[in-house]
Amino acid sequence: MTRIGPRLAVLGVTAAALLFPLVNQNDADIDSAANALAFAALALGLNIVVGFAGLLDLGYAAFFAIGAYAYGVASSWQLQPDWSSLWEPFQWLDLVTRFHTASGDVVHFQVSFWLMLPVAAAIAAFFGVLFGAPTLRLKGDYLAIVTLGFGEIVPIVARNIPAVTNGAMGLNGVAAPRLFGFDFGVDATPYFYVGVALVALLIVISQRLKDSRIGRAWMAIREDEVAAMAMGVDRVRYKLLAFAIGAAFAGATGTFYVAKLQTATPEMFMFPVSVMILVMVVFGGIGSVWGVVIGALLLQILQSWFLEDLSQWLHALGRMVGVAWLQQVELASSIELIFGLILVMMMLYRRQGLIPAARRTLALSLDEQTVQPARAQSGLIATTLANAGAARHGLDISDLTVRFGGLVALQSVELSVPAQSVVAVIGPNGSGKSTLFNAITGLVPTDRGTIRFAGEELGRLPPHRVLERGIARTFQNLRLFPNLTVLENVMIGMHARLATGPVGAVLRLPATRSEEAAARERALQILSFFGNRLLPRAEHPAASLSYANRRRTEIARALAAQPQLLMLDEPTAGMNPAETLELADQIAGLNRLGLTILLIEHKLDVVAMLADKVVVLDHGEKIAEGTPAAVRRDEEVIRAYLGRSAVFA
Amino acid sequence: MSDYGVLLQQVVNGLSLGAMYALLALGFTLVYGILELINFAHFNVFMVSSFVGMWALQLLGISGQSHVLTGMALAGALLFAFAATMLAGGVLGVAIERLSLRPLRGVPGTAAMITTIGVSYILFNIILLTVGAGSENYPNPLPVVRWQFGEVTIELKTLLIWAVATALMLALNLFVNRSRLGKAMRATAQDAEAARMMGVDVDRVVVTAFFLGSALAGAAALIFGLYYNYTSFIIGYTAGLRAFTAAVLGGIGSIPGAMVGGVLIGLIETLGGQLIAVRWTDVIIFSILILVLVFVPTGLFGRAVPTKS
């Protein structure tokens, strides 16, 4: 894999950006370019929310407004409270000055632009959290509406409190930034360079977050929220984090934009602006860092340069051929029509955008596809899983009752899974097996009873906490993250075992790098547990796998969480007899390594081969328990379950 | 006029606005009930329809408010205008579904909703580019007749609005609850997959929902023109968001909810404007939108939202 190409491209883009004002000395063009950079920064921020975490935000411009007004108010004459000695410390810090007027001394705010960039980001992030906390548990489309409402409220409030914002007239006389005594003034070039630096910084932050534990957690939530929770991702926390970081980008950009324009009016932040940023993200490629930057720049350049020129050409054409209509066309005013067309066309024909976020993967060679399935060497498996340690604790469930409205899904179930044993749960469809799994892993609330693991009650823990305690599971209907690679799926399983936070991910300190490298290495080792079935496909999207390989990937993902108790919901469903036997053998191997296993399985030969103990559920009640052989002979089991089946005939 | 009288008059005004919002809200709720899709194109189906209504009345030679008709001529003109506007709205809604939304049926996530934003923008700008940015004087053949009840004035147009809205909502209720296709709609809203397996033509149900919802938006659009005596390319956004709030307040997906929610939003708009300040009306309405979604997502009449897991 060569790394030279992308680096050269980045170098080329940087050089072009730095040289642009020297080559093109037209101040209006540089000004347009600086504005375009502001929108590229906004697109990067919205991309974190919409692209990475999958939360559609239709009021994103509200955070832009908050950042803009934060700097605008802190560096203009808008607020002039009477002077008192309380302000003196701020005067020493050079944040305010004392200003003499005829009616007494007043305070003049003059907070530095460079200080306000991070401060405005923090203020916007604060509002992001404040506003996100109650709303982020809503379904996607509801969240979009709530954000739209919030996006409407902020500019209306700005218009309605003229004492702070000067209302619809707009803030006046916002101070230009100064750097080492150089005043930026109204010349566009210094702003352009600040814009380049801002966008470059945000690109680096976006890329690093994306390729980290944080980015994987976001994408897991985007792909399948339930599976993400079950694999240890604290959904509320990571959604809030996405909202806060997205808002912070907008806050800093708001400060930059207002410093450049030296005014702020409520109209700059209304719904059309939120939609425009969304169009840029959709156009460039949802979730693609370079895509959204290029999308934003292209659309801004189209708007400010190209449409003007094109209109002129059309007018000339109209004069030539004598068509009055052509002579009056103003394409610049139809930019929103173009936005609308872009949204519709992209959604219908190219949802991944101009520059898709997902990498293309090479197809396997014929040799790789037709190669004999090989088992991994057991020594390798042992070293991979050894760090999990042998299970010391069993699972004890007593009197577990779960109701869905009037339906009793589980009725006073007693179940104990001794450490390092294999327990199989069987029963007809609808007997409550999957509900049992969901109750243990915190996905459905319990009505009564206790679930104890390692001496701790699990009943009230959210799914990610259950996983942290050492219980990992697979799902009956396969809940992989379909657009992420096999390797990424497995690495999300490690989420709870890794420590990298957002700051670490952005700074990429040696500790973070080595953790990431080790995680990758271990993920590959876990994949090697299934021999050469998954390893050659590690970089393929999970959706492209065969059914059996998807089941294996889910097991690998659960193993990555280093569980003591592994819960498998119909692991061999849809596998042919040979594959079933292979997997049963591998499950037995995991058990020999010290893992406790709780298994739902319909194939009774698999159950007989693996289980130390079988528990039979029917209509939510446990009707039998014992060794596989004893359960086979149980009269009630035969009547309730096996009697209706030909399996044991 | 006493304070009490002013408030009572605002209740009358609020009921008229509310009738319009209810008709518009029904379009959101019908589509959401079946596709779980928030249809932003609906905003500007409403706006485009109001222009169709204007052109229909102009076609009859009516312009401005001074060209008053009475008797059968008035009834015929209104019947023609409502029929044309509702048909145009309905056809536009169906066209949007066929061209831009059907290919996205079954695509997970928010792709369809983003598409409706795009369609809304396209409609908005087509009117802006062809008709222009000014507001148009709406033709209104209704004679100005007022009745005084104590301190409250009720106009002929108010009565007309109430009558039309009530009749249309009764007709919709009859259709949904009594007709074969209405039963298919209710079944699809409960469980599209099961309905399909039971032989319901889901495509036909979706088209019906779009047609009915958009036709009702057409009626609301004509009412808007007759009530305010103007139309413009920008009317879709504010009215649409308020009607959407009405649908959410009533419980999105619920037909009676949309009707009650519409009336409530109409009253909140007029009484809020009277008691607080008009410039804060939108903040009040959007706050209701957010608070309802966050704390009672099922609204007043909504069924429990099925969780997809």
pLDDT of the residue at A359: 64
B34 touches chain A (CB under 8 A): no
**Which residue among B114, B286, B294 places its CB closest to the CB of A347?**
B114
The encoded tokens of residue A5 equal 């190409």
* Contact criterion met (CB below 8 Å) for B55 and B234: no
Q: What is the DSSP letter of A377?
A: P
| Residue A648 pLDDT class (50, 70, 90 cuts) | very low
Contact: B283, A142; criterion CB under 8 Å = no
Q: Which residues of B232-256 are buried (b: 16+ CB within 10 A; e: fewer)?
A: bbebbbebbbbbbbbbbbbbbbbbe
| Residue A92 pLDDT class (50, 70, 90 cuts) | confident
**Which residue among A152, A159, A282 places its CB closest to the CB of B286?**
A152
pLDDT of the residue at B302: 74
B219-256: per-residue pLDDT in tens? Answer: 999 999 999 999 999 999 999 999 999 999 999 888 89
State the first-to-last Cα distance of chain A, in angstroms, to the nearest integer. 56
Q: Is the pLDDT of residue B62 over 60?
A: yes
Contact: B121, A140; criterion CB under 8 Å = no
Per CB-CB distance under 8 Å, the chain B contacts of A341 are: 118, 122
Distance, CA of A152 to CA of B270 (rounded, Å): 20
| Residue A364 pLDDT class (50, 70, 90 cuts) | confident
**Which residue among A135, A149, A339 places its CB closest to the CB of B286?**
A149
B291 touches chain A (CB under 8 A): no
pLDDT of the residue at B70: 84
Q: Is the ipTM of this complex over 0.85?
A: yes
**Closest C-alpha to B28, from B213, B195, B167:** B213
Lowest-pLDDT range of A297-301, A381-385, B149-153, B251-255 = A381-385
Q: Work out the minimum CA distance from B255 to partner chain A, whole angstroms.
A: 19
Work out the burial of residue A201: count CB atoms within 10 Å of its CB; fewer than 13 is exposed, 13-18 middle, 19 or more buried: middle
Lowest-pLDDT range of A530-534, A639-643, B50-54, B152-156 = A639-643
Contact: A54, B109; criterion CB under 8 Å = yes
Q: Is the dihedral of CA B226, B230, B231, B235 positive or negative?
A: negative
A-facing residues of B in 235-254 (CB < 8 A) are 237, 241, 244, 248
B194 touches chain A (CB under 8 A): no
A146 touches chain B (CB under 8 A): yes
Residue with tokens 């009016």: A265
**Which residue among A135, A153, A340 places its CB closest to the CB of B119?**
A340
B38 touches chain A (CB under 8 A): yes
* Contact criterion met (CB below 8 Å) for B226 and B54: no
C-alpha distances out from residue B296 to A160, A585, B293, B300, Å? 29, 51, 6, 8
pTM strictly above 0.80: yes
Q: Which of A56, A137, A141 to mutate to test the interface with B (most CBs of B within 10 A)?
A: A141
Q: Rounded mean pLDDT of A254-270?
A: 92
Contact: A341, B122; criterion CB under 8 Å = yes
Q: Work out the minimum CA distance from B132 to partner chain A, whole angstroms.
A: 11
Distance, CA of A414 to CA of A431 (rounded, Å): 15
Q: Is the pLDDT of residue A382 over 80?
A: no
**Closest C-alpha to A245, from A210, A220, A270:** A210
Distance, CA of B178 to CA of B170 (rounded, Å): 12
Q: What percent of chain B has pLDDT over 70?
A: 97
Q: Work out the minimum CA distance from B258 to partner chain A, whole angstroms.
A: 17
A351 touches chain B (CB under 8 A): yes
Greatest pairwise CA separation for chain B in angstroms: 62
Q: Work out the minimum CA distance from A343 to partner chain B, whole angstroms.
A: 5
**Do strands A448-453 and A565-569 pair parallel, antiparallel, or not at all (unpaired)?**
unpaired
Q: Is the dihedral of CA A553, A558, A564, A570 positive or negative?
A: negative
A108-159: per-residue pLDDT in tens? Answer: 888 899 999 999 999 999 999 998 888 877 877 888 888 999 999 999 999 9
A464-516: per-residue pLDDT in tens? Answer: 999 999 999 999 989 999 989 999 999 999 999 999 999 999 999 999 999 99
B122-176: per-residue pLDDT in tens? Answer: 999 999 888 888 899 999 999 989 999 888 999 999 999 999 999 999 999 999 9
Contact: A160, B104; criterion CB under 8 Å = no
Q: Is the pLDDT of residue A388 over 90?
A: no
Contact: A141, B290; criterion CB under 8 Å = no
| Residue A94 pLDDT class (50, 70, 90 cuts) | confident
Contact: A141, B107; criterion CB under 8 Å = no
C-alpha distances out from residue A454 to A414, A461, A583, B208, Å? 17, 14, 28, 57
Contact: A144, B113; criterion CB under 8 Å = yes
C-alpha distances out from residue B118 to A160, A270, A293, A484, B110, Å? 30, 17, 21, 28, 13
Q: What percent of chain B has pLDDT over 90?
A: 71
| Residue A374 pLDDT class (50, 70, 90 cuts) | low
**Which residue among B37, B110, B121 places its CB closest to the CB of A56?**
B110
Q: What is the DSSP letter of B253?
A: T
Distance, CA of B179 to CA of B198 (rounded, Å): 17
| Residue B1 pLDDT class (50, 70, 90 cuts) | low
Per-state percent for chain B, helix, strand, coil, to nearest 5:
75, 5, 20
Q: How many residues does chain B have?
A: 309
B177-198: per-residue pLDDT in tens? Answer: 999 999 999 999 888 889 999 9
Which residues make beta-bridge pairs with A98?
A107
φ, ψ at A334 (rounded to 5°): -105, 20
A96 touches chain B (CB under 8 A): no
Q: Rounded mean pLDDT of A289-297?
A: 94
Distance, CA of B172 to CA of B261 (rounded, Å): 16
Distance, CA of B44 to CA of B119 (rounded, Å): 9
B-facing residues of A in 148-187 (CB < 8 A) are 148-150, 152-153, 156-157, 159-160
Contact: B121, A275; criterion CB under 8 Å = yes
Distance, CA of B215 to CA of A310 (rounded, Å): 39
B103 touches chain A (CB under 8 A): yes
